[in-house]
Amino acid sequence: MKHTVHVIDVESGNLQSLENAIKYLGDYNVCYIHNAKEFEEAESNIQKLIFPGVGNYGHLISQLDKKNLVNPIRRYIKSGKALMGICVGLQAFFEASEESPEPDLHGLGLLQMNLTKFNSNDPDFVSSKLRKSVPHIGWNSIERISTKGKDFDREQTLFGINEESKYYFVHSYAAIISEKEKEAIKRYSEEGWDFAFTRYGSEHFLAAISYGNLFATQFHPEKSGLAGLAVIKNFLDGHKYGQVSLNQPQSRKRDLSGLTKRVIACLDVRTNDEGDLVVTKGDQYNVRESKEGESSNSVRNLGKPVQLANRYYEQGADEITFLNITSFRNSPLKDLPMLQVLREAAKTIFVPLTVGGGIKDMVDPETNSIVPAVKVAELYFRSGADKVSIGSDAVTIAESYYANSCKKNGKSSIEMISSTFGNQAVVISVDPKRKYLNSPSDTTMKSTKIQDPKSFGPNGEQYCYYQVTSQGGRKIHDLGAVELCVACEALGAGEILLNSIDHDGSNKGFNIELLIQVKNHVSIPVIASSGAGNPKHFQEVFELDCGIDAALGAGLFHREEYTVNDVKLYLQQSAGMDVRLEKS
């Protein structure tokens, strides 16, 4: 007999992955609750209720009010039946958030504490002449777990949460522990609350809370691989306290932030000449096979998207990115091929999924109606994506931003998606190419001195700026990579995927000077992309003083020269770096 798990749906992001995780774990049905009427109709039958939330605190709380769900949720909590909150679902149990300071906007107030934003000028980072990336994105560890004011032994677990595993966090605001909050936590602990703590830089915050049958995590268990699935399973089974055997060595050097080194697998997806959806890889963005004497050859086919994505998940990829490099402009919106790729991939892949390409205002050829970018993004989120990557549209938006004297209009895809789903859901994919200069005074863009003489210009130029392109590198813009990234951060983007046309397909390593330049001008996470040919290239980029947040590989994984875990084991064993290695 199937058991039913009820999930509150307030239209705040990717619920498909949560449903997939629940069904993956056993014989379960998932029933969504959208409003007070549906809650009341189902209430007597609810045994396990999950309250997920993604993105903006104010949006979530406003949706609860709009759908009249506040009182039913309070009533359910009072009944003592099992409830699990996830991410902003955890934050809703607090009194208020700095993210949404409106005086009439309050959470459920089970914990009379406020949520605050991580400090990008964290003293631990400033002392190293760095800025801490905000949002907090990546895989982090639990520092300690306490019950009734007493710390757990390392082997003890709270709904499967333990101090050995890594969990996926993605948020800018948290229950950060100040001196004032320490007193509140002490008081709540004496009342019977359990707490799990994590640190991001020098800031410690609540990673999980529990009281009776109420349980909530700041991290996303449905995106935390096998460790996260175990947390959901323990909640569904009602196993609150347990034990875990610790086998993994604990001597690895942890990053200043506390995060692991994040290794991402990327799949460039397009239709080939036969109309099949394939993964391909370019050489400076040319994805066609090169054969002497032929000017136009077949699209390089490296495999099927879902099959390859599953392979990389099983190899230990921390995230998987799908970049749609054709527009599918003749497809009805509801039938976009990438939606089906996401739906299938999300059934068995439980790490973050990013999708890029075509995230902009669109005309649906089936209805001839204009569909805003935020609705296109919502379709991807509903199909299993956690983040959307905006490329060409971001360039147009940045150009308008500067033309408008750096004023926001609230109407761009970046602003609209981030205000609804949170800035962590918006990745900007940057495709720059080196533009040579005789002198920095030759441009108004941020320039850099070329360090490697082999990369000097054709006339010996020793300076350059990185000129932004769009449409897969075909269109060049009078805009620099730094200027694009600064504008997009101001508009609400949460992460930068920094490609390099000069290094794409070269296997000679990442573009170090470009990465340093951009990272030194933004405070959001930067992902290194283009040029990885072996594990040492990942080590080189993670050892940069500027603090690159993640590194992405494609061709070396597609060609099966290395697995994702080959890279991670190299980072761990040769460089002593902290990485996520799951027990199968």
Chain length of the chain = 584
Kindly provide the residue ranges of all beta strands, DSSP E only, lying in 92-164, ordered along the sequence.
94-97, 111-117, 136-141, 144-147, 150-151, 156-158
Distance CA 306, CA 322 (A): 10
Helix-helix angle 16-25:225-237, to 10 degrees: 70
In degrees and rounded to multiples of 5, residue 166 shows phi and psi of -110, 145
Which residues are bridge partners to 206 per DSSP? Answer: 197
Amino acid at 158: L
Distance CA 476, CA 433 (A): 9
Tokens representing 524 are 């959001």
Active site residues: 87, 220, 222, 268, 431
Is 499 annotated to bind ligand?
A: yes
SS3 (DSSP) at 454: helix
Q: Are 278 and 269 in contact (CB under 8 A)?
A: yes
Residues whose CB is less than 8 angstroms from the CB of residue 404 and which lie 6 or more positions away in sequence, other chains included: none
DSSP letters along 413-446, please? HHHHHHHHH-GGGEEEEEEEEEEEESSGGG-SS-
Query: Rounded to the nearest 5 degrees, what angle is found at the Cα of 479, between the Cα atoms of 358 and 396?
Result: 30
Is 485 annotated to bind ligand?
A: no
Which residues are bridge partners to 376 per DSSP? Answer: none
In Å, what is the CA distance from 184 to each residue of 181, 191, 576?
Answer: 5, 11, 38
Query: Rounded to the nearest 5 degrees, what angle is found at the Cα of 334, between the Cα atoms of 331 and 335?
Result: 50
Question: Which residue in 55, 73, 49, 48 sits closest to 14, CA to CA?
Answer: 55
DSSP letters along 113-128, please? EEEEE--TT-HHHHTT
Is 494 annotated to bind ligand?
A: no
Q: Could you tell me which residues are annotated as the binding site for L-glutamine?
A: 87
Q: Could you tell me which residues are annotated as the binding site?
A: 87, 358, 499
Q: Could you tell me which residues are annotated as the binding site for substrate?
A: 358, 499
